[in-house]
Structures are given as C-alpha cells and as structure tokens.
C-alpha cells in the first residue's frame, strides 16, 4: 500500500492511494483490537475456571496466586534436580580424571 502511494504519478492518484491506505490501516487496527479483546476474554475465562473451587479434602478455593506459587515451586524443584544432576556428572568426571592421572580423592 505504502509503495502505491509513493509511486503515484498524480496528486489524485496519491490522494486515492492514501485514502485506501488509511481505510485498510483502520480495518487492520480494528481487527487487531477484536482479536485482542477475544484473547483477553478467553484468558479471563481460563483464570475464572482455574480459580473455581478446588474439590480437595476441605473444598479449599484455589486462587490463581496459589496456582502460580505451586508452579513456581515445581520449577524450583526441577531446577534443583537438574543442578544436582549436573553436580553428580561433574563429580563423576572429576573422579574419572583423577583416576586417570593417579590422584586420590577423599569421598568423605
């Protein structure tokens, strides 16, 4: 669109191309607003559904904040597990290297 405005030979062609560009640009912006509104509405419904009464032992209402805390805990545990695995691998590599060069490591 912008190219057709720039390539217009007469003032009328340029004005027509500018009008078409403005109309199309407005339609695109309205479409984006509609899509964003739909997304936010769907997100709000998902949050509402997620915060509905938790059917556990005591019927505790699980809020979005509690769910985020749970997810945060799970991520922390996963990171801790990964870190522990890396430490074990590095220790095993250090032991193998020390054995190869005849060093004694106290496993204390």
Give residue-wise pLDDT tens across range 37-80.
777 777 777 776 766 655 544 455 566 677 777 777 887 787 78
What's the average model confidence in pLDDT over 73-102?
A: 79
Q: Which two tokens stand for residue 42?
A: 């769907």
Closest CA to 62 of 70, 51, 71, 72: 51
Bridge partners of residue 61, in order along the sequence? 53
State residue 35's pLDDT score. 76
Task: Say which range, 28-37, 45-54, 90-99, has the weakest mean pLDDT.
Answer: 45-54
pTM, entire model:
0.36
Residue 91 CA to residue 8 CA, distance in Å, equals 71
Kindly compute the dihedral angle of the four CA atoms of residues 95, 96, 101, 103, in this order, to the nearest 10 degrees.
20
Q: Is the pLDDT of residue 19 over 50?
A: yes
Q: Is the pLDDT of residue 29 over 60?
A: yes
State residue 57's pLDDT score. 46
State residue 13's pLDDT score. 82
State residue 103's pLDDT score. 66
The distance of Cα 53 from the centroid of its chain, to the nearest Å, equals 26
């Amino acid at each position: 669109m912008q190219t057709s405005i720039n390539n217009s030979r007469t003032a009328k062609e340029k004005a027509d191309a500018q009008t078409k560009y403005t109309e199309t640009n407005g339609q695109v912006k309205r479409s984006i607003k509609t899509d964003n509104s739909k997304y936010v509405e769907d997100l709000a419904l998902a949050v509402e559904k997620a915060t509905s009464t938790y059917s556990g032992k005591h019927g505790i209402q699980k809020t979005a904040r509690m769910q985020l805390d749970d997810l945060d805990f799970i991520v922390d545990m996963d990171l801790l597990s990964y870190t522990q695995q890396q430490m074990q691998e590095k220790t095993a590599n250090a032991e193998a290297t020390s054995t190869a060069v005849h060093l004694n490591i106290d496993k204390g």
